[in-house]
Amino acid sequence: LLEIVSEPDMRSAEEAIAYAKKIHSIVTCIGICDGNMAEGSFRVDCNVSVRHKGDDKLGNRTETKNINSFRFIEKAIKGEIIRQIEILEDGGHIPQETRLYDAEKDQTRTMRSKEEANDYRYFPCPDLLPIVIEDDYIDAIRSKLPELPDAKKQRFIDQYQLNKKDAGVISSNTAQADYFEIVAKGIKDAKLAANWLLGEVAKTLNQNDLQISESPVDADALAALLIRIKDNTISVNAAKQVFEAMWNRQGSADQIIADKGLKQETDSGAIEKIVRDVIASSDKQVQQYIAAEPDKRGKMLGFFMGQIMKASKGKANPGQVQGLLKPILDSMCD
């Protein structure tokens, strides 16, 4: 058991959660804890005291024990702050005590009264000698540490040009960070890798209550799928269908693309025919486009895009469609 005790210098539930999350990311990164809060691997005791504005002395504190989720930490702290303030404003007294958080009732309740420090009658044990930790020993351990989350976050910003928010989320979990790097290097597109990891992958993991290490779509498999977006084999929407099938273990990306007939139409001649057919059958919308102010026409392309994608059964390359559609429509406005 490792217990980490902070100084009483946090001023809000948000600060406390940020602190707990930082510790959580570090201990999981260095491999001394699996971080599973529901199973008790990582729990938090929250000490809360309030004081009147301007007072230097801290008020009596209560300790809410063994909170097992970051969401409950926030609820317990905020609830305890409100409870203590209401008691003090009514002229009451806050006893120093240990409390428990009841998630079903969303409130804390008394567990036992808490003694003052001198009531514990601490005394040194003669069989336990003092342990002196030398600076050299600390430096030796530090040199063996893996890359910690803060350093990894900064590297992701510098190396992959991720924004601070995305870099922070991805680097907070070692398995997730490793997954990201495999995908990013495999497709040579860090932004696309991050978007999918924080989007479709994260959403599906959450829906199934799984960790990234339990994903049925591993990093190499996701990279193989994203390559098919980059080389215009499939559209983004089709890729989401393929990802779902991969998640359900229906095969590799290429197998699923072939089985479902999701390969995009990239023949410019075939696409141009579909574009012109849609324009020819949409006289009303064409006349509205022609009559519109030039700066308003861009918003009107959505109708035509939708009809073209429908006519092509979603297989027309959107980039090629856009490249053909606007010039053809604009030529009709002259």
Radius of gyration of the chain (CA): 29
pLDDT of residue 124: 80
pLDDT of residue 121: 65
pLDDT in tens, 12-26: 999 999 999 999 999
pLDDT of residue 312: 86
pLDDT in tens, 64-106: 999 999 999 999 999 999 999 999 999 999 999 999 999 999 9
pLDDT in tens, 186-208: 999 999 999 999 999 999 999 99
Quote the tokens at residue 317: 């390359």
- Does residue 8 or residue 178 have the better pLDDT? 178
Q: Spell out the domains of the chain, with CATH numbers in brackets.
A: 13-120 (no CATH), 149-260 (no CATH), 268-331 (1.10.10.410)
pLDDT of residue 9: 87
pLDDT in tens, 26-68: 999 999 999 899 899 999 999 999 998 888 888 899 999 999 9
pLDDT above 90 coverage of the chain, percent: 71
Mean pLDDT computed over every residue of the chain: 92
Q: Is the pLDDT of residue 120 over 80?
A: no
Question: How would you write the chain as a 3-class SS string?
Answer: CCCCCCCCCCCCHHHHHHHHHHHHHHHHHCCCCCCCCCCCCCCEEEEECCCCCCCCCCCCCEEEEEECCHHHHHHHHHHHHHHHHHHHHCCCCCCCEEEEEECCCCEEEEEEECCCHHHHCCCCCCCCCCCCCCHHHHHHHHHCCCCCHHHHHHHHHHHHCCCHHHHHHHHCCHHHHHHHHHHHHHHCCHHHHHHHHHHHHHHHHHHCCCCHHHCCCCHHHHHHHHHHHHCCCCCHHHHHHHHHHHHCCCCCHHHHHHHHCCCCECCHHHHHHHHHHHHHCCHHHHHHHHHCCHHHHHHHHHHHHHHHHHHCCCCECHHHHHHHHHHHHHHCCC
Place of tokens 């995908």: 183
- Does residue 298 or residue 43 have the better pLDDT? 43
Q: Is the pLDDT of residue 117 over 70?
A: no
Confidence of residue 115 (pLDDT cuts 50, 70, 90): low
Q: Is the pLDDT of residue 4 over 70?
A: yes
